[in-house]
Structures are given as structure tokens and as C-alpha cells.
Amino acid sequence: MDKIKIENFVNCYPDQIFPGFYHLTEKESAALKVEIANRLTLKSDINGLQLVNTLNSLSNIQEEVGAEDSDFSLKKNLISLNISIPEYVYINWSQYDNIDKIKLLDLDEYFYDIWYPSVDDIDIFDDSLTWILFVTHYGKIKFLFFSSPAHDKKH
């Protein structure tokens, strides 16, 4: 999480503490990147930019909702996509080398303190690694569903 986001939060809400989050290590981020690549049957050594571009090219735009809509709710949006609400989600800030883990309810409640329009393109996903919700810097919402790799499936 960018330090400036935490500082801005503290300035706006002096009585509150910024929501807890965990910044993944380089090794943890790399493992998630490889797992996502595997689920899409991509080379496991794909670089982060190629992965981001591939994910974006495979995603679908959600025309009926935007992150800048006054009634936008991340939780409601996931429900509308028939995604079970996880306790925690990951936020990819870049090329799967800068990832934070945060409670979904905290991200939903403080979404505009964490995602900055005109600045942030973020990917949100959970431990299931079966979906990714993209929020572009201009507020467009995109999503991608994918299944577990073949070796995870029981015959």
C-alpha cells in the first residue's frame, strides 16, 4: 500500500486507523503470478507486464457499473457476478510484483481511500484464483473467470 494513501487516510479520519493489510513478499507475489499463469495455461516464467496484458485482453467489460458511480460497492458487484464473498482479497497494484492482502469488507468500506481514480489500475482476486475483477484508473470494471488447472481436478 502506498504510504501516501495511509497518510491521506489518517488526515481525513484522524480518529481511525487505516485498515489492516499484509504486503506480500516478493516470493509470495511471484508464486501467485505463476499460479495465475498456470490456470491460464501460460508459461510460468511469463513476465508481469505480459501477464497483465493477457489478463486484460481476456477480461470482459461490465457495462452496467463503474467504480466512479455514486452507488458503487465492491461487495455488491461481486455478488452480482455470483462470486462468493471471501474474507480476504488480494490487490495487485502493478505487474504481480506489488500485491497487498486485505479484508474484503475493509476494501469495500474504504474503497475510495485505497483506489485512486486517474491513478490506479488494480486487479482484485481471492485465494480461489478463479476470478479477477479489474478496476481501471478511469473507473471501468472488467472481470475474468477461469477454472482451476487440470491437475487440481478430480477424475
Backbone angles phi, psi at 63, to 5 degrees: -60, -35
What residue numbers bound the domain in which 43 lies? 19-147
Rounded (10°) CA dihedral 76, 81, 84, 90: -80
Tell me, yes or no, whether 10 lies in a domain.
Answer: no
Residue 148: predicted pLDDT: 58
Give the SS3 label for residue 102.
Answer: strand
Residue 149: predicted pLDDT: 53
Question: pTM of the full predicted structure?
Answer: 0.92
Which tens digit of pLDDT belongs to each residue from 43-69?
989 999 999 999 999 999 998 899 999
The yes-or-no verdict on residue 151 having pLDDT over 70 is: no
Tell me, yes or no, whether 153 lies in a domain.
Answer: no
The yes-or-no verdict on residue 153 having pLDDT over 90 is: no
Q: What is the mean pLDDT of residues 71-79?
A: 94
Tell me, yes or no, whether 127 lies in a domain.
Answer: yes
Domain count, the chain: 1
On average, the pLDDT of the chain sits at 92
Residue 150: predicted pLDDT: 47
Q: What is the mean pLDDT of residues 129-154?
A: 81
Residue 96: predicted pLDDT: 96
In the numeric block, which cell numbers belong to residue 135?
478496476
